[in-house]
Structures are given as structure tokens and as C-alpha cells.
RNA sequence: GCGCCCAUAGCUCAGCUGGAUAGAGUGCGUGGCUUCGAACCAUGAGGUCGUAGGUUCAAAUCCUACUGGGCGCACCA
């Protein structure tokens, strides 16, 4: 778009300056030419700092280089109304209306595809996230992983990856057996039996709701079972109830998985044993003290890791290795695994296992999400699985609202810890950023409705025809897509800055997408959405859209349409609804 | 003790592949609704970018040490 066009012009100017012998010591531009939006309006609409980077190559001061380049710049005044060199060596460009109008045309022409890129080129990517143990409620930390993962999935899809999303279900092992013991005791106690609740394991309170759900479905018919059968049965039905609640809650949060991958299935299909044989066959494991060890130290870990305990059972790492081998064999080009930061110690082990299996470790990206500190009025709410989750994700969503929770969790970068104050979030929920962005979208919709729908006078009950007729609108829609000149009437010299700012924000969307995708930071799109909404509000404040002048109305409705489109596109990625009315 | 992550406005967070006067939101002060949605806008105050060095024409950004906080260092998962 505009940045690329400007970049080409700067590139050409540098080449000409070199040809003319004005930039000594250079035969080609050795640094990338970056066109960016300056922070301050007096620095123009777009700025290029290439002269600063060229200084040490050209052995001249940045300001002189900038002046030299500026001499060779060839711009059309309709596109770039003026440019100037500013200390310490920036070239600042002030845009005219030409490129801006063309850009709006492109936004409307591309519609929901505006901003899409082809970074992925159809490569298959698998994102595994949440993967919470089915032994209790989800908490806000799971929520963060869930929101981050789903935003990243949306984003990577938007930039051309074939994305699949997967939840790894730890549905077997010691913690699940413990769930069985606790649930069996809770079941009997809830049905009036005087049995002792296990002192070790999950707190009774954290299981009560799930066991009550079991009782609601199955009644007391399991009471006749002996303890062994009872523990197994309660284990399975309680786990099913927990998994269902996880599915429902994540669904409510807008998080959807293609697959819930069962760890148990790996054992049942002997994939865990198979991966152990594979390690052995490749000479990557050995026996010691009756246990089987992975030679992880040779592969970058700080020490070797146990795969199979002397008691004969396999470790979590063995199952995880089998799981990741399965992922590799399913033929993905990128494997993204999102874990809570408390698992960071496992990353070298997993990477070592992957290397030991002869798979490309660079395909596997492990992203860690840092802790969410939950507080209420400044008081930290402690979360601990052993103590039971004090505040569940469901409660946070009920209290604050799902869109607001989603925005808060989406906005931050995963590697930073965040503080989430319930009282604060609730108190400001009416003015929260998610709401603000949605409001901007609803406002655009409202303006379009106002333009296209007849209005009803409440006193006289007379219908006033719509300012813009249906047939006229259809004609405009096609003009928006093919005739940039219709937009020239948007621009009013009095308030050009506001209008330009809004258009520039729309124009910067593809670049934002690219940066967000490359750095795996969908959060910056959440912030972009806020900025866009803010620019729309400022524009709206000073500029009427529906006016008696048909050409002006046509142009400004087009701008509103384009803005609404980009809001929809970005809200789609961060997974927040774009309502027509609020 | 060792390793990883973090420290920016009262609070919540951006900015970090080095570039112009460190930005938003929230809270606080002031002003603005006869007109497409005031759930909005304008404006003011508020910062030794944890501390100390170093690299550089240029450091919140890179390097080192330190301080403070979180997490991890099992034949647990």
C-alpha cells in the first residue's frame, strides 16, 4: 500500500544519488528502507529514517545523507503534498489525497480479506493449548492460555496458514486415579454416607459441583459398587463431567478446538511403548537403576530424564514425546505448543526428545504464558490447585463479561505477567476497551443504517425516505471498489488531519498483521483495534457523514464502510463480537 | 545454590530487531450534548523507564553486575 509505494520512491532516489556519485562509499543501499508512522503529527504522516542507518556506511552525517536523498525524490504532489528533512536525519512526508483515496478503494474492494497475507503459504500449523488437567475448574491462567492460543490461531489463519487447534487431554495417570478416589468419597458423602474424605488430593469443594452433576445424571446407583469399581466409575464419569464443563466454558469464551487429543489413547494404541522402542533403537536411551533414561543432556538439557520408572510405569515426558511424535507424523509444518510458564522446566526435555527422535526441533515452537495475578480491590486472590481454585474462570467471566475478559487477556504479551483486578475490571466494564471498540463498530453500523433506512417521525408517524436510496447505494458500492476519485470529497481542508489519520490507521492494518504474526503477538492487534476505534470517534466528532451534498455523503459513507470493515476484520482475529447495535 | 521470566505515570499496560520531545487506558482537575449513538470528545497535572556501570553519533531498547518479585530445578503430572 502507501508505505510500499513510498519505499519504492525512496529506494529509487537512493539509487539515483548513488549513480550521480552523491553518496560516496555506497554501491547499493546496505540497509532496509523502513517507512513508519511518526509519533508526532508535526513529523508528517510517514517518515523514513534510512539516512540514520546509512550514516556509518556512507561515512557522512545522517542529515547530509537525508538531504542528498531528498534532492532525488520524485513525488507526485497529489500523493505527497510535501516532504522535508528533519534533524537528526529523518525524511518526513506529508500525504496528499491521491494515495489515501486509492487505499480506501482497496479496503472496500478486499472487504473481509483486507489485511490478509500469505506468510503461511498454506503451510499446516498445529497449535496446542490450554491442555488443562480434567481434575477441576479452569482458572484465569487457563483463560489466558486459551485466549492467547485462539487469537494466535485466528491470526495465523489470517496470514495464510492452515491452522488446527488441539487440546491435549491428560486423561490418564496418577492424578486421574486420585480424582477417582476423591470423587468416589465425595459421591458417597454427598449421598449421606459417613466416610472419610482423602486427606491428599483435590479439595472436596472443588469437586462438589461435578459430583453433584454425576448424581443428577446417575442418581445413587453406583453406591452398590465396591471401592475399586466405585473409584474407577466415579473417575470416569466425573472426568467426563469436568471435560464437558471445560468444553462449554471455552466455547463461551470463543475458544474452539478441532480436536481433544486423549493421552489415554496414546497408551491404548501402544504409542508410548513405541516411542520408548524408538529411543532405544536410535541409541538415545539407556537403563540405569532399573529405570529407562533419555540421553537428554547430550541434546541440550541440563541432565538426563527418566522415561520409564523402575516401577514400570512411564513418565509424563514419555507420553509427551509420543504425543509430539504423533504430531510430527501427522505432517504439520509448524507445531506450536503453548504452556503455562510453570512448565518451562520441561521445554529442554521435550526439545531433547524431539531431537532424539530425529525430528526437526525448529518446527516446534514452545510459547510460555506468564502468570495472571488475580486480585480484588488490591487483595491478591491466591490460586492453587491443591487448595482448590478460589476464583474460577467461569466466575471471572460471569462477573466481568466474556468480551471484556477476552480483551484483557488478549491485549498483553504472553511473556509478561499481568495483574487482573476483578473489582477494577468490573467497575470499568462499561468503559472497557472491548466495549469501546464494539461501540465504534456499532456507531458505523448506525450511520449506515441512518443513511439507508427510512426514518419514522415519532410525532406524526410519517415516514421520511432514506437519505440514500437502495439503487443509489448499490451504484456507490461498485464505485467505492473501482473509482478512487469518489473519495476525494471526503477530505475537507479544515479537518484534513482527522480524516487523514483515520485513513492512515486503516492503511496500516496489513503491516500490523504482519508484525503481530511474525512476533506471535496478537495482542498488538487488540491495541490496534482500540486505536482505530479512537480515530473513528475523533473523526466522528468533527465531521458529519450524511450531508446535503451527495458527493460528500458518498465519499464519507465509503470511509465509514471501510472503517467498519477493518474493525470487523480485527475483532474477528481477537475473537470479540462486532455488534450492529448495542 | 543453579536456570528461565519480569521491573516504564497513583493503578492496569504499550513501546524493546537501538533513532525525533517515553505513550495509551484508568483515576484526579477543567470544558463540551437543538444536529448521523455524550457508552463520546477536548484539555491539564502526573515519569531519575528498578540501581550502577559499559557499547554507540544515538539506549526504556543491546551487554555486565547488583536489587526486588514470580516460576522451575522428582523414578510428580
> In this structure, what C-alpha cell is assigned to residue A372?
495472571
Helix (H, G, I), strand (E, B) or coil at A50: helix
Counting every residue written for chain A, the total comes to 582
In angstroms, the Cα distances linking A154 to A63, A150, A422 are: 43, 6, 27
How distant is C1' of B7 from CA of A572, in Å? 33
What is the rounded CA–CA span in Å between residue A546 and residue A513? 32
> In this structure, what C-alpha cell is assigned to residue A337?
505448543
How distant is C1' of B20 from CA of A56, in Å? 19
What is the rounded CA–CA span in Å between residue A250 and residue A138? 9
Q: Does CATH place domain A433-574 in 1.10.730.10?
A: yes
> In this structure, what C-alpha cell is assigned to residue A555?
465519499
- At which residue does the C-alpha cell 498454506 appear? A122
- Where helices occur in A330-428 by DSSP H, the ranges are 347-356, 393-400, 402-411, 422-427
What is the rounded CA–CA span in Å between residue A259 and residue A254? 15
What is the rounded CA–CA span in Å between residue A187 and residue A234? 8
DSSP-assigned beta bridge partners for residue A82: A94
Nucleotide nearest to A346 (CA to C1'): B72
Closest CA to A66 of A44, A95, A92, A105: A92
- At which residue does the C-alpha cell 522446566 appear? A345
The single-letter DSSP state of residue A312 is S
What is the rounded CA–CA span in Å between residue A119 and residue A98? 29
Which residue's alpha carbon is at the shortest distance from the C1' of B4?
Answer: A344
In 10 A of CB A493, how many CB atoms? 6
Q: In the prediction, which pLDDT does A159 show?
A: 96
Q: What does CATH list as the number for A129-258+370-425?
A: 3.40.50.620
In angstroms, the Cα distances linking A102 to A76, A79, A115, A483, A507 are: 14, 10, 15, 8, 10
DSSP-assigned beta bridge partners for residue A366: A337
Q: In the prediction, which pLDDT does A42 show?
A: 80
Q: In the prediction, which pLDDT does A475 show?
A: 96
Strand order in the sheet with A291-294: A285-288, A291-294, A305-308
What is the rounded CA–CA span in Å between residue A243 and residue A351? 29
Q: What is the pLDDT of residues A216-270, one digit of tens each?
A: 999 999 999 999 999 999 999 999 999 999 999 999 999 999 999 999 999 999 9
What is the rounded CA–CA span in Å between residue A374 and residue A376? 7
* Backbone phi and psi for residue A368, each to the nearest 5 degrees, phi listed first: -105, 135
Q: In the prediction, which pLDDT does A437 show?
A: 93
Strand ranges for A146-298 from DSSP E: 162-169, 259-262, 285-288, 291-294
How distant is C1' of B41 from CA of A244, in Å? 46
- Where helices occur in A519-549 by DSSP H, the ranges are 523-542
User: pLDDT by residue for chain A (582 residues), tens digit each?
Assistant: 899 999 999 999 999 998 888 887 777 777 888 898 888 878 889 999 999 888 877 778 888 889 999 999 999 999 999 999 988 889 999 999 999 999 999 999 999 999 999 999 999 999 999 999 999 999 999 999 999 999 999 999 999 999 999 999 999 998 999 999 999 999 999 999 999 999 888 889 889 999 999 999 999 999 999 999 999 999 999 999 999 999 999 999 999 999 999 999 999 999 999 999 999 999 999 999 999 999 999 998 989 999 999 999 999 999 999 999 999 999 999 999 999 999 999 999 999 999 999 999 999 999 999 989 888 776 777 655 545 557 889 999 988 888 888 998 999 899 998 888 887 777 655 557 888 999 999 999 999 999 998 877 666 667 788 899 999 999 999 999 999 999 988 888 888 888 999 999 999 999 999 999 999 999 999 999 999 999 999 999 999 999 999 999 999 999 999 999 999 999 999 999 999 988
Q: In the prediction, which pLDDT does A54 show?
A: 86
Q: In the prediction, which pLDDT does A26 show?
A: 75
What is the rounded CA–CA span in Å between residue A554 and residue A550? 6
The answer to whether the beta carbons of residues A186 and A207 sit under 8 Å apart is: yes
The single-letter DSSP state of residue A493 is G
Measure CA of the first residue to CA of the last residue in chain A; give whole Å.
Answer: 33
Q: What is the pLDDT of residues A317-326, one digit of tens each?
A: 999 999 999 9
In 10 A of CB A162, how many CB atoms? 15
Q: What does CATH list as the number for A2-96?
A: 3.30.1360.70
Closest CA to A83 of A46, A30, A127: A46
How distant is C1' of B33 from CA of A272, in Å? 68
What is the rounded CA–CA span in Å between residue A290 and residue A72? 76
Q: In the prediction, which pLDDT does A287 show?
A: 94
Sorted by sequence, the CB contacts under 8 Å of residue A499 that are 6+ apart come out as A490, A491, A492, A539, A543, A559
Closest CA to A164 of A65, A43, A257: A257
What number of H helices and E strands is found in chain A?
21, 19
| Domain locations along chain A | 2-96, 129-258+370-425, 269-366, 433-574
The answer to whether the beta carbons of residues A71 and A88 sit under 8 Å apart is: no
Chain B, protein-covered positions (CB within 7 A)? 3-7, 11-17, 19-27, 32, 35-42, 57-58, 69-77
Nucleotide nearest to A428 (CA to C1'): B26
* Percentages of chain A per state (helix, strand, coil), in multiples of 5: 55, 15, 30
What is the rounded CA–CA span in Å between residue A382 and residue A374? 7
How distant is C1' of B26 from CA of A6, in Å? 38
Strand order in the sheet with A379-381: A379-381, A372-376, A418-421
How distant is C1' of B68 from CA of A380, in Å? 18
Amino acid at each position: 500500500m502507501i508505505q510500499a509505494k513510498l519505499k519504492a520512491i525512496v529506494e529509487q532516489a537512493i539509487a539515483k544519488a548513488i549513480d550521480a556519485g552523491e553518496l560516496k562509499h555506497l554501491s547499493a543501499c546496505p540497509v532496509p528502507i523502513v517507512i513508519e508512522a511518526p509519533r508526532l503529527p508535526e513529523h508528517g504522516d510517514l517518515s523514513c529514517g534510512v539516512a540514520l542507518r546509512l550514516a556509518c556506511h556512507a561515512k557522512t552525517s545522517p542529515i547530509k545523507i537525508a538531504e542528498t536523498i531528498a534532492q532525488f525524490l520524485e513525488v507526485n504532489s497529489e500523493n505527497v503534498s510535501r516532504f522535508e528533512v528533519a534533524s537528526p536525519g529523518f525524511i518526513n512526508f506529508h500525504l496528499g489525497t491521491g494515495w489515501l483515496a486509492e487505499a480506501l478503494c482497496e479496503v472496500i474492494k478486499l472487504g473481509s480479506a483486507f489485511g490478509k497475507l500469505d506468510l503461511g503459504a498454506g503451510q499446516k500449523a498445529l497449535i496446542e493449548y490450554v491442555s488443562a488437567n480434567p481434575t477441576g475448574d479452569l482458572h484465569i491462567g487457563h483463560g489466558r492460555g486459551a485466549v492467547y492460543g485462539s487469537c494466535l490461531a485466528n491470526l495465523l489463519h489470517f496470514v495464510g496458514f492452515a491452522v488446527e487447534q488441539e487440546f491435549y487431554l491428560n486423561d490418564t495417570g496418577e492424578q486421574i486415579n486420585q480424582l477417582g478416589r476423591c470423587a468416589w468419597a465425595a459421591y458417597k458423602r454427598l449421598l449421606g454416607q459417613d466416610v472419610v474424605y482423602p486427606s491428599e488430593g483435590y479439595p472436596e469443594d472443588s469437586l462438589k459441583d461435578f459430583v453433584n452433576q454425576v448424581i443428577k445424571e446417575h442418581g445413587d446407583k453406583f453406591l452398590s459398587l465396591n471401592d475399586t469399581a466405585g473409584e474407577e466409575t466415579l473417575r470416569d464419569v466425573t472426568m467426563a463431567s469436568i471435560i464437558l464443563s471445560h468444553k462449554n466454558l471455552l466455547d463461551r469464551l470463543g475458544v474452539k478446538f478441532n480436536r481433544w487429543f486423549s493421552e489415554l489413547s496414546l497408551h491404548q494404541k501402544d504409542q508410548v511403548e513405541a516411542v520408548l522402542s524408538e529411543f532405544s533403537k536410535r541409541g538415545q536411551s539407556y537403563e540405569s537403576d532399573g529405570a529407562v533414561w533419555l540421553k537428554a543432556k547430550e541434546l541440550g538439557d541440563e541432565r538426563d530424564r527418566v522415561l520409564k520408572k523402575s516401577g514400570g510405569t512411564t513418565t509424563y515426558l514419555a507420553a509427551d514425546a509420543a504425543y509430539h511424535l504423533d504430531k510430527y507424523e501427522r505432517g504439520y509444518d509448524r507445531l506450536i505448543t503453548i504452556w503455562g510458564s510453570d512448565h518451562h522446566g520441561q521445554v529442554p526435555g521435550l526439545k531433547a526428545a524431539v531431537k532424539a527422535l530425529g525430528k526437526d526441533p525448529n518446527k516446534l515452537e514452545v510459547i510460555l504464558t506468564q502468570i495472571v495475578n488475580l486480585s480484588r480491590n488490591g487483595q491478591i486472590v491466591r490460586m492453587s490447585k491443591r487448595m482448590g481454585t478460589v476464583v474460577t474462570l467461569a466466575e471471572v467471566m460471569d462477573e466481568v463479561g466474556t468480551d471484556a475478559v477476552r480483551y484483557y487477556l488478549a491485549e498483553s504479551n504472553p511473556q509478561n505477567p499481568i495483574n487482573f483486578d476483578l473489582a477494577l475490571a468490573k467497575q470499568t466494564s462499561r468503559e472497557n476497551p472491548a466495549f469501546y471498540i464494539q461501540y465504534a463498530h456499532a456507531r458505523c453500523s448506525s450511520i449506515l443504517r441512518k443513511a439507508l433506512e427510512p426514518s419514522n417521525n415519532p410525532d406524526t408517524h410519517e415516514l421520511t425516505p432514506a437519505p440514500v436510496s437502495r439503487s443509489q447505494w448499490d451504484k456507490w458500492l461498485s464505485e467505492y471498489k473501482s473509482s478512487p476519485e469518489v473519495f476525494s470529497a471526503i477530505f475537507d481542508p479544515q479537518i484534513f488531519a482527522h480524516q487523514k489519520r483515520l485513513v492512515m490507521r486503516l492503511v496500516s492494518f496489513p503491516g500490523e498483521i504482519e508484525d503481530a504474526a511474525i512476533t506471535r503477538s496478537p495482542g498488538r492487534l487488540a491495541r490496534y483495534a482500540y486505536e482505530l476505534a479512537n480515530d473513528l470517534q475523533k473523526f466522528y466528532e468533527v465531521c458529519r457523514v450524511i450531508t446535503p451534498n451527495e458527493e460528500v455523503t458518498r465519499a464519507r459513507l465509503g470511509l465509514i464502510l471501510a472503517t467498519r470493515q477493518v474493525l470487523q476484520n480485527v475483532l474477528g482475529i481477537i475473537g470479540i463480537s462486532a455488534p450492529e447495535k448495542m
